[in-house]
């Protein structure tokens, strides 16, 4: 289909350093607080150490939220609570500092980068830095036509790779990934259903702003029809993204894979980023080792995708707004894990001796009483 060889990612992506992770476990066992007492924070600290190839872990100093934006033609069927072609409004809210992710990012000191891949608006209405990677104006209606041409799919995928390289070259040490889309959860559900071999009803959720029952039925029908078009191209992941994905989802997939190549950890947000990650796993099976699931969005498609990748969400607060908000909420937890792994003091030798002595005493059987004669 294209000059882009996705098989290369299998060779280019290595797992986080297992030897460093074992060193991190040994380092943790020597700390003052007993291993396991910090729960999942211990696991996160060890994962970060392996990802950074560093013991002790370095603090997360240069995180960035990266949001891919696009409109989806399938939204014209009334499958979203937002109006078709309305993703530009979401982008403007973020750029103006009014969107939920912008507010949280400002409080956390995290810069936000928005990349327009297929917004249905005049590109002149947005900053040049936002629109410079745009592939087309809106993605096709995937129940009856392809989301992208083959050339557009390759351009979008390469754009995502380029953004990942730009972030790695700039020293970004952790990515919070999200999307700004209308109709994106429908396309994501199609990808998940196709890759997991499930029916439309199993993956159809109610989106970022919960739709009513009639809209849910329309969404389910749209996913069913798009799924029929997706199944014949399952063997070619780029063609699958061109058929039923969209420019933003295609770019996110390229971005995720290139982040894994560049050893840049990523926190996933909701069903859209999870679906892209699932496509990425199909391309390069080691890639999910570089990703964290930030939150449980409640979307059934997200749960299906994360289960397939063996990723467990860090948070479950019922956040459905999308836009990277849930993933950004998980960032303080990751930062806390890094701080604890790096700064917990070593357990003093006398504490070790006392603990070992107590354990030895506990293990002794009491002497049997003498037989009275």
| pLDDT tens figures, 230-244 | 999 999 999 999 999
**pLDDT, mean of residues 264-273:** 96
Which two three-digit tokens encode residue 81?
A: 């609570």
Over 80: is that where the pLDDT of 369 sits? Answer: no
Helix orientation angle between 247-261 and 150-169, rounded to the nearest 10 degrees: 40
Residues pairing with 181 in the sheet: 70
In a shared domain, residues 207 and 317: yes
How far is the C-alpha of 14 from the C-alpha of 111, rounded, in Å?
28
Q: Which residues contact 185 (CB under 8 A, 6 or more apart)?
A: 80, 205, 207, 208, 270, 271, 272, 299, 301, 322
Active site residues: 323
Q: What are the backbone dihedrals phi and psi of residue 48, each rounded to the nearest 5 degrees, phi first?
A: -65, -40
| pLDDT confidence band for 355 (50 / 70 / 90) | very low
Does 308 map to a domain?
yes
Over 50: is that where the pLDDT of 361 sits? Answer: no
CATH number of the domain that residue 304 is part of: 3.40.50.10210
Does 12 map to a domain?
no
Does 292 map to a domain?
yes
Does 366 map to a domain?
no
Query: For the segment 106-149, what is each residue's pLDDT rounded down to a tens digit?
Result: 999 999 999 999 999 999 999 999 999 999 999 999 999 999 99
Query: For the segment 182-220, what is each residue's pLDDT rounded down to a tens digit?
Result: 999 999 999 999 999 999 999 998 876 678 899 999 999
Provide the domain limits for residue 23.
Answer: 18-57+340-360
Does 227 map to a domain?
yes
Over 60: is that where the pLDDT of 34 sits? Answer: yes
In a shared domain, residues 270 and 348: no
In a shared domain, residues 47 and 74: no
Query: For the segment 247-261, what is each residue's pLDDT rounded down to a tens digit?
Result: 999 999 999 999 999
Over 70: is that where the pLDDT of 354 sits? Answer: no
Does 141 map to a domain?
yes
Q: Which has more confidence, 149 or 36?
A: 149
Does 371 map to a domain?
no
pLDDT at 317: 87
User: What domain count does the chain have?
Assistant: 2
């Amino acid at each position: 289909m294209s000059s882009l060889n996705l098989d290369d990612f299998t060779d280019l992506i290595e797992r986080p350093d297992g030897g460093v992770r074992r060193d991190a476990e040994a380092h943790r066992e020597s700390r003052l607080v007993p291993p396991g007492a910090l729960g999942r924070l211990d696991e996160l600290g060890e994962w970060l150490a392996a990802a950074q190839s560093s013991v002790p872990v370095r603090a997360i100093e240069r995180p960035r939220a990266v949001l891919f934006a696009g409109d989806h033609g399938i939204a014209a069927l009334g499958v979203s609570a937002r109006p078709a072609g309305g993703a530009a409004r979401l982008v403007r809210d973020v750029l103006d500092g009014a969107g939920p992710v912008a507010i949280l990012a400002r409080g956390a000191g995290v810069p936000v980068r928005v990349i327009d891949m297929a917004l249905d608006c005049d590109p002149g209405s947005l900053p040049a830095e936002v629109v410079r990677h745009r592939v087309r104006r809106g993605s096709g209606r995937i129940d009856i036509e392809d989301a992208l041409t083959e050339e557009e799919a390759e351009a979008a995928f390469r754009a995502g790779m380029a953004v990942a390289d730009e972030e790695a070259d700039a020293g970004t040490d952790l990515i919070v990934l999200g999307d700004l889309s209308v109709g994106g959860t429908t396309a994501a559900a199609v990808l998940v259903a196709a890759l997991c071999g499930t029916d439309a009803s199993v993956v159809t959720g109610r989106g970022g702003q919960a739709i009513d029952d009639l809209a849910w039925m329309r969404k389910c029908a749209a996913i069913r029809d798009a799924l029929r078009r997706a199944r014949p191209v399952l063997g070619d992941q780029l063609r699958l993204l061109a058929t039923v994905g969209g420019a933003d989802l295609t770019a996110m997939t390229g971005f995720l894979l290139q982040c894994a190549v560049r050893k840049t950890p990523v926190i996933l947000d909701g069903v859209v980023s999870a679906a892209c990650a699932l496509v990425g796993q199909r391309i390069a099976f080691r890639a999910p080792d570089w990703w964290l699931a930030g939150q449980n969005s409640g979307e059934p498609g997200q749960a299906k995708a994360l289960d397939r990748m063996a990723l467990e969400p860090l948070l479950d607060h019922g956040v459905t707004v999308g836009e990277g908000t849930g993933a950004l909420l998980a960032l303080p937890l990751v930062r806390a894990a890094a701080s604890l792994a790096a700064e917990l003091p070593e357990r003093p030798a006398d504490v070790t001796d006392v603990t070992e002595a107590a354990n030895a005493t506990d293990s002794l059987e009491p002497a049997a009483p003498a037989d009275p004669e």
